[in-house]
Amino acid sequence: MKLWLAKQRYLIDFTLASLARRKTRNLGLLAVYTVLVFMLSSVTLYTHALRQEAARVLTASPEVIVQRMVAGRHDLIPPGYIEKVGRIRGVQKIEGRLWGYYYDAVTKANYTFMVPAENAPVAGEIVVGPALERSRGLAKNNGISFRSYSGKLHSFIVADVLPQASELISADLVLMSEASFRAFFDYPVGHYTDIALSVANPQEVRNVALKLAAALPDARPILRDEVLRTYASIYDWREGIVLALLSAAILAFGILAWEKASGLSAEEKREIGILKAIGWETGDVIKMKFWEGLLISLTAFLAGFVAAYVHVFHFAAALFEPVLKGWAVLYPRFQLTPHIDGLQVATLFFFTVVPYAAAVLVPIWKAAITDPDSVMRS
């Protein structure tokens, strides 16, 4: 066992020395490899974090949202409408929601003004999202004014700032009292933006939605699962677009890696011949070259993945953000909650490390099983 361990150590020593001897070539390959892993990892980490973020937010959202459609457009819920929805069998809890968008010319950003179902701020006070805190330099107890669409200036005191978790939704949020909201947007009393409802039996959500559509033809029920699926397909599509754009880079790397891994230089063939001639077994030569390939690909994978993690979760994926995030109106920046999926890491590892390490083996095996007598003639 001791001899075996010493032998493995010698093999690794020689492998490291071998890598150092071809420093320029290996560093070049390592750099290209790392950049590729970085790009792929950035895309997958970012889209996965967005999916997770959406799923986390939607878990707490109502099972069904009902909007009223007039002339194909979303319109206000009039008084008495909520009672009609509440009479449908299976509906457990129902409430009208008040929310709307506000464009802030100062920061050139769109905010979402909303009246929360519980713990709403008192009139004249607001609770703001972290993006507003950053972009408007707000802190607790600061005052801020917004000019409403009717041209009137409304002043508020910041009662609190929302936590950074789930910033995807909370980034641009401004929570206020019902009175403040109705005053700001000139909303008539008894009118709502939409209706949130929960269903007694979760298995019956789809049936309740069908009954709703039948009873109120101008109602558009939106199921939580449908929203989640839509988010997922949007991110999948965006991820696919980016990966398609990166495919040229992936292909170029593939060719480079294959060329480097599968083609042995005359010098490498000579070295294999020497090692075999002086008593190295075929298995030792293969192991040594395998270690060499594995070290390069593993180092590139780790470096690329760590760089991608930093890029996505500390620099908000600055390189891919415009393509992947996709909201033209979501100007306030938001930070994603770091999340790594084991399966995703394993998939990335499998598609970046394993092919290279395997590609190294074929030519080495071919060279290593030939008689070492060629070395006598070189």
**Nearest distance in Å: CB 132, other proteins:** 60
Which residue in 51, 276, 311, 325 binds other proteins (CB under 8 A)? 276
Question: What would the x/- binding string for other proteins be over residues 236 to 275, using CB under 8 A?
Answer: -------------------------------x--xx-xxx
Closer to other proteins by Cβ: residue 205 or 272: 272
Which residue in 284, 296, 300, 317 binds other proteins (CB under 8 A)? 284
Determine the Cα–Cα distance for residues 276 and 269; give it in Å rounded to an integer. Answer: 11
Determine the Cα–Cα distance for residues 136 and 7; give it in Å rounded to an integer. Answer: 64
Collapsed DSSP state (helix, strand, coil) of residue 116: coil
**Stretch in the footprint of other proteins (CB under 8 A) among 8-16, 204-212, 228-236, 335-343:** 8-16
**Nearest distance in Å: CB 292, other proteins:** 14
**Nearest distance in Å: CB 257, other proteins:** 23
Q: Give the total of residues touching other proteins (CB under 8 A).
A: 34
On whether the CB atoms of residues 102 and 258 are closer than 8 A, the answer is no
10 Å CB burial of residue 321 (0-12, 13-18, 19+) is middle
Which ranges of the chain does DSSP label H, i.e. alpha helix? 2-21, 23-59, 81-86, 130-135, 167-170, 178-185, 205-215, 224-262, 266-277, 282-313, 321-325, 342-368, 374-377
Closer to other proteins by Cβ: residue 224 or 270: 270
Closer to other proteins by Cβ: residue 11 or 234: 11
**Stretch in the footprint of other proteins (CB under 8 A) among 17-25, 190-198, 252-260, 291-299:** 17-25
Taking CB under 8 A as the rule, does residue 277 contact other proteins? yes
**Alpha carbon 21 to chain centroid, angstroms:** 40
Closer to other proteins by Cβ: residue 81 or 280: 280
**Nearest distance in Å: CB 285, other proteins:** 10
Q: Cβ contacts of residue 70 below 8 Å, gap of 6+?
A: 218
Closer to other proteins by Cβ: residue 7 or 229: 7
Which residue in 16, 252, 281, 362 binds other proteins (CB under 8 A)? 281
Determine the Cα–Cα distance for residues 8 and 278; give it in Å rounded to an integer. Answer: 18
Determine the Cα–Cα distance for residues 223 and 270; give it in Å rounded to an integer. Answer: 67
Q: Which residue type sits at 323?
A: V
**Nearest distance in Å: CB 244, other proteins:** 42
Question: What would the x/- binding string for other proteins be over residues 359 to 378, using CB under 8 A?
Answer: ----------x-xxx-xxxx
Within 10 angstroms of residue 13's Cβ, the number of other Cβ atoms is: 11
Determine the Cα–Cα distance for residues 61 and 55; give it in Å rounded to an integer. Answer: 10
Contacts with other proteins, residue ranges (CB under 8 A): 2-7, 10-11, 14, 17, 20-21, 267, 270-271, 273-282, 284, 369, 371-373, 375-378
